[in-house]
Amino acid sequence: MLDQPDRDRGTRRETRTYVSSYELLRVVEEQAAIGTWVWDLGTDRQTWSMGLCRIFGFTPGVDEASLELFRSIVHPDDRLLISVSKEQLVRRTEDLGFRILRCDGTVRWLQMHLETIFDRAGRPGFLVGVVVDRTRERSVRKAMTRTEELLNALRSLEKIAIWQADARGALTDTAGLQRMMGLEPNQLVGWRRLEAVHPDDQSAVSAAWAAAVETKSTYESRLRMKLSDGQYRWVDAQAVPVLDAKGDVGFWFGACFMRDGSATTEVPTPAPPEKRKPSGRQLRAARILLEISAEDLAGAAGISLATLRRMEEGGASQVRDRNAAALLAVMEKRGISFTQTPEGACGVSLAPGPR
C-alpha cells in the first residue's frame, strides 16, 4: 500500500491503495541490474524495458527495439549462440550466456532467460525474456580467483609461511606454518603456537601481538622459531588487520619470512643505555605486558598523559630525555627489559615476579 500526500489541499489522504507493476519493475531493474523484453510473435513487435535499454546502452524512444538491433551489438565471438530462428527460440529452455559490445566500446557479460507464453489454443503468443548483467559479478569472481592463485603461489615458496587468524587472534589457516615448522594443526591452536617460539622471545611476541590487536595496527615481530629441522632460526613475522565496513577487525592476514643464515641459539641482549630508545610499538607492548592503564603509567612516571601518548605513537625519541628516562625507569623497575639482537632487532620482555 502506498500513501501519498495531497499537496494541493495541504491535507494527507490515501490517494491509491496499490503499487503498479511498472513501478515495481522499475525499482527491481534499477537495483538488480536486470532488464526485460516482450516479443509479440503475432505482430513481430518487441518491447524493451527501461532497464534493458540501460544495459544495452540505447535510448528509449529513439532506438526502435528489434531482433536486428539486438544482434548488432552481440559480441562477434558470441553471435553464433543467438543466430537462431524465432521457432528455435520458442523451443529453447536453457538460459543463454553471451557478451555485447556497446556503442561506447564497453563489453558487458549478460545472461538471458526465455519463457514462451502460449494462448488458449496452445499456440506460442509471446516470448518473454529477462536479461541479467553479470559483468560486475564476473569481474569480482575473476579478481577472487586471481587472488587465490597469488596466495597459492606465495604458499608454495619455501621461506614464506602465509597464515590467517580471526579477529581474536585464533589461527584459521595454518597450512603454511605447519609446513615451515613441521607441527600438527592441534599444536597451533590458540597460544600453543608460542611453543615453537624461543622461550626468551615468547613474551615479546605475545606483547607485540596484544598491542597490534588493541590498536588495530600492523603486527611486526622478529623472533627465533623452531622449524621442522628442530633448529631455531630467525623469522620475521608480520600481519595486517582486514577491517569490515564498520571499521572492526574481520580477520588478520599474516606471513612469516625465514631469514637467511644458519641455525642460532643466541639470546637477545639488553640494548646499551646510549642506544636504548624504544619505539612506540615497544612501549605499547610493554604497557600491555604490565597490565597498566596509560593514565596510571603516566602518573607513576610523573609525566603527562599527552607525553606518554606521544612516546607510544612515535617512540621515546619524540620527547625530552628526562621524560623518556623517567618512563623507562618505572618500566624497568617493574620488570620490563628492552632488548636488541646483534642484527639490530629490538624486542621487549617481562621478568617473572610481583609487580
In order along its 355 residues, the chain shows pLDDT tens digits of: 333 344 444 444 455 566 677 677 778 777 778 999 999 988 989 999 989 999 999 887 777 888 889 989 999 999 887 777 777 777 777 788 999 999 899 999 999 998 899 988 888 999 899 999 999 999 999 888 888 887 777 767 767 888 888 888 778 887 888 877 777 766 666 555 677 888 888 888 888 888 888 888 888 888 888 877 788 888 898 999 999 989 899 999 998 888 765 455 554 444 444 445 677 778 888 888 888 888 988 888 888 888 888 888 877 666 777 888 888 888 888 888 877 655 555 677 777 655 5
Q: Taking the domains of the chain in order of start, what are their residue ranges?
A: 33-137, 157-258, 269-350
Query: Which contacts (CB < 8 Å, 24+ apart) does range 83-91 have?
Result: 86/41, 86/127, 89/114, 89/127, 90/41, 90/116, 90/124, 90/127
Tell me what pLDDT residue 261 has: 58
Instruction: Copy the grid coordinates of residue 247.
Output: 571499521
Q: How many CB atoms lie within 10 A of CB 98?
A: 18
- Return the H-helix or E-strand segment holding 3: none
Q: Which CATH superfamily is domain 157-258 in?
A: PAS domain (3.30.450.20)
135 by Cβ neighbours in 10 Å (0-12 / 13-18 / 19+) ranks as: middle
Cα atoms in the 13 Å half-sphere on the side-chain side of 167: 6
Determine contact, residues 319/310, Cβ cutoff 8 Å: yes
323 by Cβ neighbours in 10 Å (0-12 / 13-18 / 19+) ranks as: buried
The CATH number of the domain covering residues in 33-137? 3.30.450.20
pTM of the predicted model as reported, rounded to 2 decimal places = 0.48
Core vs surface per residue 163-178: b (16+ CB within 10 A) or e: bbbebebebeebebbb
Give the CATH fold of the 269-350 domain: 434 Repressor (Amino-terminal Domain) (1.10.260)
Q: Shortest CA distance to 116 belongs to which of 57, 41, 43?
A: 41
Name the residue type at position 306.
Answer: A
Tell me what pLDDT residue 306 has: 87
Tell me what pLDDT residue 159 has: 78
33-137 and 157-258, same CATH topology: yes
For 74, 250, 253, the CA distances from 244, given in Å and listed in that order, are 39, 6, 14
